[in-house]
Amino acid sequence: MNQLKQVGDIFQIQTGDILPADGICIESNNISCDESSMTGESDLIKKSPEQMPFMLCGCKVQTGFGKMVVVAVGMNTQFGILKQTIIASAQKKQQTPLQQKLDQLAKYISYTGIASAAFVLLILLIFWIISGAQNTSQFKAIEFWVKLVNYIIISVSIVVMAVPEGLPLAVTIALAYSMRKMLGDNNLVRILSACETMGGATMICSDKTGTLTQNKMKVTSGYLDGEMITLKQQQQIQKNFEQKDQVVTLLSEAIALDSSADIKETVKNEEDNEKQKQANVEHLGNVTECALLQYIKENEGIDYRNIRAQNVVIQTYPFSSEQKRMRIEDPVRIEVPEAIRLCHDSHIDVIMVTGDKIETAIHIAKECGIYNPSKGIAMEGPQFRSLSEEDQLKILPRLQILARSSPTDKHTLVTLLQKLGHVVAVTGDGTNDAPALSKADVGFAMGITGTEVAKDAADIIITDDNFSSIMKAVMWGRNVYDSIRKFVQFQLTVNISAIAIAVAGAIFSVTPLKAIQILWINMIINTLAALALATERPTKELLKRKPYGKTGSIICPSMWRNILASAIYQSVIIIILLFLWGKEAEFMQQAEYPDLKQTELCSLLQKNDEIIVTELFFPNGLCRHFLLSKGVAIFSKQHFSFIFNTFIFMQVFNWIPSRKCYNELNFFKGLMSNYIFQGIMGFVAAFQVIIMLVPGLRDVFSVISLPGNLWGYSFLFSILIIPFRFFVSLLIPSKDPFQCDEYSQSILSGIS
């Protein structure tokens, strides 16, 4: 079996062998194969030259021995064809819904930033030209041309700040953080984008065998000592077998000796949990015999190997299912019904797709909570294939079970669901699931019982084979989506307010924010905000919402409310501080300042209430208070430093309400448990203080130190954004905060 096989080779096969090629059975002694990994059919398939002679690569021989002739090897086998389908599907995968929305949003934001920068530059150029026209001698002064260069730098800085180059970084940080945390929730993410795609999942197509069920047959009832008994619960067993030790002993001996199956246990790690230890158990031989052996071991504590060792085999008679009087089934995983209920509560529909017969599928689907006979449809693969595509699309909204399905049926089902606009997740563990896993928007493979082909085709591997882990992936996916929304909400707030301040300043030929200061703001937006806002842990409240789907905009009405409220607050406060604060706060009685007596000298500087930066022309503040007393607007370096400091701390405190995108009023919920957010917020605040206090950094950022009262005002105006946002959310609640439809899309389209 370990040698390479070629077409035409004939070789021996026996119980426990995994077939290395496709072939035809030419000699059979009670051969039966487990083809569940290829077809989804849980029943063993009997093989003989006369009936069902075809043997598939990758399938296991469960009983008997014989010979087969090779008819296909490598990529020409059914296994290889499935592999080629997986490769083709992987190459055709397009951008995720979130990636498409973010690309469109980035385009709109960039256009707006470029247009705003052009507008600011145009206004500044007009003032520059008028100033030169009034005094043509300025054209010879280098300071005059330096001013033009500064105007251009300011405009370029606005473009740099507006263009959302930090958006991909925010997405990557959110995905990488989620990917690491999801591993602790038994989700091994192979494809990074699958994290966020799962947040928009609207449909799950699940395999039955090994995914919804345990893929290990168990005895449920039998005929013993003249009566039919049910063996589902240990209490029932003990009651039924009370004072019948001899019967139990006889039953155990009969099961151990009248079977040729075996159960192999491989202990990889002594610290493995119970679920992992169960996964390392391999059943060899007839599934009914394996179920009986498992029964006497688990329920009676009897090791069948000891019984076999005490007896000698004289003659073997093959097992025949016609002679049995017991009932076995592949039991549903304990956690599955609750997980299915969570899916429905999360507005995610589930379709069972299996190769098993429809009666078995319906029984299991009812037990799981998937199938509702009054609302849903159960259909077999051949019947589904016979329908036209139009008819298939019509029944899909009600389809809950697709039985006797082939890998092609599963692939077709996923394709049609995607045509209807669904974001489709597929779960499976067998090789037959691989094409559908690859075609799906998100493919989940079982990490313990799944085949290597299924794992290679999947985007996420469920390491504990627990269907409920899929719901944790849904939570993380929706959490990633929310993290991106929080970042977008924060970035648009800063962009709108910064552009408004720049435009207002340009109208009065003032540049309150210097180029280096804008770059520091840009760093806060693109890097630090992404880290702070993308590290929230998911909550169960996320599962109460509808999936985001493919059509909804990334910006909800409630987000527009939050963005505009915060941007208006920041813009209005900064503009008031810029044009009114300096004049009102610094105006004093004339007698207090000696420069007020220099009326002849100072009056020469007053030209039609011209705006003057005193530090530029008069470092000692000469004539400053005289001009103030005459109503001239004076913008000092200290004044601009105060504006810059206040604007930065507004962004720091705006991080707190930016953590909530909808109608939430408790902005601090979960804040104390997010140490990354606290650390980044503290770092930015501390570094801003350092900028304002350290002489060397002050020169770099074009600021000077501030007195204590201005520090107090900076914090006051900054922290007031939190109660302001609270009252806006309280007084103007969004009717449907989670509904992101064409409302937001139309606003963005209008911008472009």
Tokens (6 digits) for 711 = 């520090």
From the candidates 34, 185, 207, 330, which is the catalytic residue? 207
- Are 643 and 585 a contacting pair, CB within 8 Å? no
Bridge partners for 312 per DSSP: none
Q: Which of 10-19 are b and which e, b meaning 16 or more Cβ less than 10 Å from the residue's Cβ?
A: eeebebebeb
**Contact, 58 vs 431, CB < 8 A?**
yes
Let me know if 356 is a catalytic residue: no
Query: Starting from the edge strand earliest in sequence, which strands make up the sheet with 203-206, in order?
Result: 187-189, 460-462, 442-446, 424-428, 203-206, 349-353, 399-403, 377-380
Q: Read off the tokens for 634.
A: 């004076």
Secondary structure of 48-84 as H, E, C letters:
CCCCCCEECCCCEEEEEEEEEEEEECHHHCHHHHHHH
Taking the C-alpha atoms of residue 156 and residue 114, their distance in angstroms, rounded to an integer, is 9
Beta strands in 89-207 (DSSP E): 187-189, 203-206
Antiparallel, parallel or unpaired: β 399-403 and 377-380: parallel
CA-nearest of 728, 209, 646 to 432 is: 209
Tokens of 356: 């098993």
Q: Which H or E element spans position 257?
A: helix 245-257
Task: Output the six-digit token pair for 125.
Answer: 């150029």
Judge residue 613's burial from the number of C-beta atoms within 10 Å of its C-beta, 0-12 exposed, 13-18 middle, 19 or more buried.
middle
Reference 612, options 593, 596, 595, 625; nearest CA is 625
Would you state the structure tokens that stand for residue 24, as one six-digit string? 């035809």
Element (H, E) at 161: helix 142-162
How far apart, in whole angstroms, are the C-alpha atoms of residue 154 and residue 320?
87
Q: What is the C-alpha to C-alpha distance for residues 441 and 347, in angstroms, rounded to an integer?
A: 17
User: How many other C-beta atoms are found inside a 10 Å radius of the C-beta of residue 599?
Assistant: 11
Contacts of 181 (CB under 8 A, 6+ apart): 476, 537
Alpha carbon dihedral 570, 571, 577, 583, in 10-degree steps, equals -170
List C-alpha distances in Å: 568 to 57, 248, 285, 726: 67, 81, 73, 15
DSSP code of residue 609: S
Q: Is the torsion defined by CA of 510, 515, 516, 519 positive or negative?
A: positive
**Neighbour-count burial of 620, counting CB atoms closer than 10 A to its CB (0-12 exposed, 13-18 middle, 19+ buried):** exposed
Q: Does residue 478 contact residue 347 with C-beta atoms inside 8 Å?
A: no
271: which residues sit within 8 A by CB, 6+ positions away? Answer: none
The one-letter code for the residue type at 673 is: S
Measure the CA–CA gap between 203 and 429, rounded to whole angstroms.
Answer: 18
Positive or negative CA dihedral for 285, 287, 289, 290? positive
Neighbouring residues of 560: CB distance < 8 A, sequence distance ≥ 6: 744, 747
Residue 281 phi, psi dihedral angles, 5° rounding: -95, 125
What is the Cα–Cα distance from 90 to 404, expressed in whole angstroms?
26
Q: Indicate which residues carry an active-site annotation.
A: 207
